[in-house]
Amino acid sequence: MTSALSKSLVAACLVSGLLAAAPAQAAPSLVADLVTGEVIAQEEATRAWYPASLTKLMTAYVALNAVREGRITLDTPFVMSMRAAKAAPSKMGFNPGTEVTLDNALKMLMVKSANDIAVMIAEGISGSVEDFAFEMNSAARKLGMRKSFFVNPNGLHDPRHVSSARDMAVLARALYKDFPEVADFYGIGALKLDDKIIPTHNGLLGRYPGADGMKTGFVCASGFNVVASAQRDGRHLVVVVFGSPNAKLRTLKAADLFDKGFAAWGGQRANLNNLPDIAGPAPNIRDEICGKNRKTVQEDDLAVVAPQGYDRRALIAGPRPLFEPVDIFVGRKAGWTGQVAQARAAPSAAALAAIPAAGAIAYANASNIGTKASQAISVKNQPAKKVVVKKKIKVKKPVAKKPAASGPLNASPVASQSKAKTQ
């Protein structure tokens, strides 16, 4: 695919009205070399943004690291808890108590983007979602993901849960470099569970020449996000797109960035390690993406049908590609006699202390959260200091008694407090 073709695709979308209601906020994007870390093109790549389901790439990284450390194996059965089963869609919908091997769970995570599976993996590895988030943030710090802070394993919206396009490119490099043995997980086009076919959300797979992964993401607050990789002429590139107004434009923008990346050779360019940070909190573009006047949004750009009479060949998101589905199953692997990974009773005090209070706004720089969390833990572990309070003696003045009223003059203290909390 050439650059000219990508431009014609965008022009075609303009004609069909696909560019309507684009977010006013500049959307971050980046294309970089996965091997060298060289940044070929970028726009606001270090601005804080809500990653949505791109979070699951970090969930996969922590899980694969646990395998490397010998804590679990890809064949270890994970147990679906009540908390995991109650996760919001997208989800597999398994009942509590269902067992799934980590190998199958990671495939469901990448293809279906299953939120219940993400919680199940988190609980099985770390004991709780909160402890897993602690591990996610520890991994992010080690990888140099300066603007990222995670509070859950699936990316369901939380104002404290942020990342950046640059950080996601750093994570993509780490996944391919540190765990090459599972690189094919990110490029699966479809899964088969019994008689059900589960297709990918990634509109580049099967359409863009050389596309081989990775993950899409969407919540109303973030818009349509994608981390994508492609290989051509001995080069392996990663593209990150945040905040697209719909799934088709997400795919088109990623394709255009790949075109630019593969067409660029030589020259001195910036590296992922030295891109300057952009201050400011992550913007919430919910109204632009999911406002009351917008049509129903879809995460899956493969399900969008081109307008009648339109040349479908001019769209990347045309007819659905046919993939040979990868078989998955529910339950233990035959002959398994090892441990079972499942949630424990409660999260650790350290994990709870490391997460900012609920309702906190997105931080201008996520690294500040890590600093504050560390301070919170150290303060919590210090012995309490004795505080001496000097009481002041007040002289009460006599108050004239008022005549009794026919009803109560004031609500009871308990009733007043209760009312204040619910306003």
Q: Is the pLDDT of residue 3 over 50?
A: no
Each residue's pLDDT tens digit, 326-346: 999 999 999 999 999 999 978
Which token pair is 281? 């909190």
Which token pair is 301? 């750009």
Q: Is the pLDDT of residue 191 over 70?
A: yes
Lowest mean pLDDT among 28-37, 286-295, 395-404: 395-404
* pLDDT given at position 398: 52
- Smallest Cα–Cα separation from 248: which of 211, 299, 208? 299
Each residue's pLDDT tens digit, 173-185: 999 999 999 999 9
In a domain, 396, yes or no: no
In a domain, 416, yes or no: no
Q: Is the pLDDT of residue 118 over 70?
A: yes
Q: What are 179-182's contacts with CB under 8 Å, separation 24+?
A: 179/61, 179/64, 179/68, 182/64, 182/106
In a domain, 199, yes or no: yes
Higher per-residue confidence, 295 vs 63: 63
Question: Percent of the chain, pLDDT > 70?
Answer: 71
Each residue's pLDDT tens digit, 66-78: 999 999 999 999 9
In a domain, 146, yes or no: yes
In a domain, 370, yes or no: yes
Q: Is the pLDDT of residue 28 over 70?
A: yes
Query: Please, what is the Cα angle at 12 between 308 and 112, to 5 degrees?
Result: 75
Q: Is the pLDDT of residue 311 over 50?
A: no
Q: How far is the C-alpha of 25 from the C-alpha of 413, rounded, in Å?
A: 47
Task: Identify the domain containing residue 293 by its residue range.
Answer: 3-376
- Smallest Cα–Cα separation from 139: which of 100, 87, 179? 179
* pLDDT given at position 171: 98
* pLDDT given at position 291: 86
In a domain, 149, yes or no: yes
In a domain, 423, yes or no: no
Each residue's pLDDT tens digit, 125-184: 999 999 999 999 999 999 999 999 999 999 999 999 999 999 999 999 999 999 999 999
Each residue's pLDDT tens digit, 203-245: 999 999 999 999 999 999 999 999 999 999 999 999 999 999 9
Each residue's pLDDT tens digit, 344-389: 978 889 898 888 875 444 433 444 444 444 333 232 333 433 434 4
* pLDDT given at position 356: 81
| Residue keyed to tokens 């632009």 | 288
Q: Which of 201-210, 261-270, 301-310, 370-379 has the highest mean pLDDT?
A: 201-210
Q: How far is the C-alpha of 56 from the C-alpha of 412, rounded, in Å?
A: 49
Q: Is the pLDDT of residue 193 over 70?
A: yes
Which token pair is 161? 């849960």
Kindly report the CATH number assigned to the domain that includes residue 366: 3.40.710.10
What's the predicted TM-score (pTM) here? 0.79
In a domain, 364, yes or no: yes
Which token pair is 280? 């400011």
Q: Is the pLDDT of residue 85 over 60?
A: yes
Please measure the distance between the N-terminal and C-terminal CA atoms of the chain and give it in whole angstroms: 57
Q: Is the pLDDT of residue 38 over 70?
A: yes
Domain count, the chain: 1
Q: How far is the C-alpha of 245 from the C-alpha of 294, rounded, in Å?
A: 10
Higher per-residue confidence, 292 vs 205: 205
Question: Percent of the chain, pLDDT > 90?
Answer: 65
* pLDDT given at position 367: 43
Residues 105 and 117: beta-carbon distance below 8 Å: yes
Q: How far is the C-alpha of 76 from the C-alpha of 124, rounded, in Å?
A: 10
* pLDDT given at position 355: 84
